[in-house]
A = this chain, B = another copy of it.
Amino acid sequence: MTTYTAINLVKRPSGGPITADLFASVKKQMPTIGEGQFLVKQNHMSLDPAMFGWMSPDTNSYIPPVALGDVMRSSGIGEIVESNHPDFKVGERVMGMMGWQEYFLSNGQGLNKVAAPLPDEAILSIFALPGLTATQGLFNVGKPQKGETIVVTGAAGSVGTIVGQLAKAEGLRVIGVVGSDEKADWIVNELGFDAAINYKSDNLDDQLASHAPDGIDILFENTGGPIQSMIVDRMNAHGRVVVCGLIADYSKQVPTPGPSWMNVIKRRLTIQGFTMPDHFHEIPTLLEKLTPYVMAGKIKHRSHVLEGLESAIDGLNLFFTGENKGKLLVKL
């Protein structure tokens, strides 16, 4: 084998579904490793809603966009197959931003060894971006207090599942908003949420009222959509809104307006956005916070694994349709 496959971003999305013409599959020459370098064969890569931001041209965003013609950005796990680096040995597993490609040449920078005896799927579903995002957003932005009520949108998603389970472990009343009855059933009966609301059903406001009889203290927002303002209307004084994602808006050219700020005054709400690149230097602290919950068996997950590098492209559309069941991964 003298070549490998990579997928480059060649055109920016302009709203609507992700189409194949945004990307180009290319063959690359297998590199020769130099002194202090090693070669990783990537086995699993992660698909995340953050990718819509990385593809967008908005230079005011939190991280530079992927340049046109560059390999598409993603995190993944692989195995070292060749090495001239003293600290990285052949056979070891490493995790990091390796992009949409089968092989990755590295000098070690930005890659971390995976020591935990867990399969790739579990590592990428819990200890990578989803778990770090959930931990930072819930604890450091949401500031949960035992006995409070939290609503999590996108509750069956990779971040939402972890947020809900962490909040439950902290003694909050946890209500998840999802897009199917199957997911509603799963988060309540398997993950232990107190209640679930299918946002496609009727009487959303009545459901909120009955599931949150004491009002809502925290909204962990992953989706946007019409239920957003109904939730804000039911928030208690000093409530916190953690704005983590707005998947319902990522494919729209003109984003939907948000709720009036009237309740922000009357209830003294705080609405705060965050993204993980601001907190990469805090990853050790975040993992220290997250790990005990995982070790205590309080964080379950499920993965939705697509097969083959090319499946990543259309796979992104599953975020819009909500048809993925669990954390989206691509097996190479």
Contact = CB atoms under 8 A, between A and B. Distances in A.
Interface of A: 53, 58, 60-62, 221, 224, 228-229, 236-237, 243-246, 249, 255-275, 278
B261 A268 contact: no
A263 B62 CA distance: 10
- A-B pairs, 3 with minimum CB distance: A257-B257, A255-B260, A264-B273
Given A62-B237, A271-B272, A243 B261 contact: yes
* Copies of this subunit: 2
Nearest to A53: B266
B62 A266 contact: yes
Contact of A60 (B237, B243, B261): B237
A272 B270 contact: yes
B268 A260 contact: no
A263 B272 CA distance: 11
A246 B273 contact: no
Contacts of A268: 62, 272-275, 278
B261 A246 contact: yes
Contact of A258 (B249, B259, B274): B259
A257 to B, nearest CB: 3
12 contacts: A62-B267, A246-B261, A258-B260, A258-B261, A264-B271, A265-B274, A265-B275, A266-B273, A268-B278, A269-B272, A270-B272, A271-B272
Nearest to A278: B268
A255 B261 CA distance: 9
Contacts of A255: 260, 262
